[in-house]
Amino acid sequence: MKRIAVSLLCLSFFISCAQRTKKNDVAIQTDDTRTYDTQRIVDNLDNPWGMTWLPEGSMLITEKDGRLIHFKDGTKSEIQNVPEVYNRGQGGLLDITLHPNYKNNGWIYITYSSTEGEGNGGNTKLIRAKLENGALTNIEDLYKAMPNSTRGQHFGSRIEFDTDGYLYFSVGERGNRDVNPQDLTRDGGKVYRLHDDGRIPEDNPFVGEANVREAIYSYGHRNPQGMARHPETGAIWVHEHGPKGGDEINIIEKGANYGWPEVTYGVNYSGTEITDQTSKPGMTQPIYYWVPSIAPCGMDFVTGDRYPEWKGHLLVGSLKFNYVELVKLNGSEVTGREKIAQDIGRVRNVRMGPDDYMYIAVEGDGIYKVVPKK
């Protein structure tokens, strides 16, 4: 009887997995023609989390351990006066981006894990600062997620501006899935929307509700580590880590609940079920999900004319499988998948540079530039 019970349990698990993968039916292809070369342009990096470009073409690179690197003319230098980070697990110095009007105002935006505020441990914080003489100056605190936690997982975090100048950033649910993602009175498992100076927009979806975090724009997220603005629609897209299976791509909508953990296409790491629900009324479905997980990190749309066959499609880094995935789109429908830069290493970030080249940040290695063959 015991063997029968175990067999039935296994059968139930595989049926559940099969049901969850019905939408995940876009086969991935490997680029066997290699119409491009990958050229390492920055070496000897540990965990390059975020990267952006200054107007003259030099790069700012965040190292998770708390170092901010300026790469210019082939040389790395360390920016001074960077706030101390809570370097634990997935926490540390995270994303970085420039204000859309950087040439006139000089603002740089950074997320990192900080011990400031309520409770032991740390949580994700957003600041802005200026860069003068190799150091951060005029540092302004914009938002600090709370409470702190000593858990080492799910800090998020990515930053993006929309076409109207609003700033979006993500915070993971800090490993507290049963409380944070669905509770609007708590931070974590959310995408936030602010004015560029940290003020909360009056038209944010939960402004005026008692005790809620009014900066919240969407909720029910697990750990969003990719964010990009669509080059045509201006919509903010994110991807987020699922548990075992169920990584998602979502288009962020005002006030939307993306369901975690009440709905998911994944299971616990042990293989046991989190929930048998993959959808519920009032909860927004992903436009795509991965089973098995690829552990997505970093995200951008292909723009410019250097890669004509890839233009308009989505780039997603894979930590788990050591490649960049080209997610082919027809509007918001995923129609194809292709491996780019296969076996390059654990991809922590992928971005389009201002020169219209694709750049890939690889853990324990450096940053690569993808150059089409002539």
Among residues 154, 221, 239, 313, which one is catalytic?
Answer: 154
Asked if 239 is an active-site residue, the reply is no
Task: Name the strands in the sheet holding 296-301, side by side, starting at the edge strand that comes first in the sequence.
Answer: 28-30, 333-340, 323-330, 314-318, 296-301
Query: What is the full DSSP assignment across 119-172?
Result: SSSBEEEEEEEEEETTEEEEEEEEEE-SS-BS--S-----EEE-TTS-EEEEE-
Residues ≥6 apart with Cβ < 8 Å to 169: 95, 111, 126, 143, 156, 157, 158, 159, 160, 191, 192, 194, 227
**Of 244, 342, 251, which is closest to residue 294 (Cα–Cα)?**
244
Q: Which two tokens stand for residue 154?
A: 């799910």
Q: Using CA atoms, how far apart are residues 244 and 53, in angstroms rounded to an integer?
A: 35
Q: For residues 217 and 203, what is the distance between their CA atoms, to the nearest angstrom?
A: 10
- Catalytic residue numbers? 154
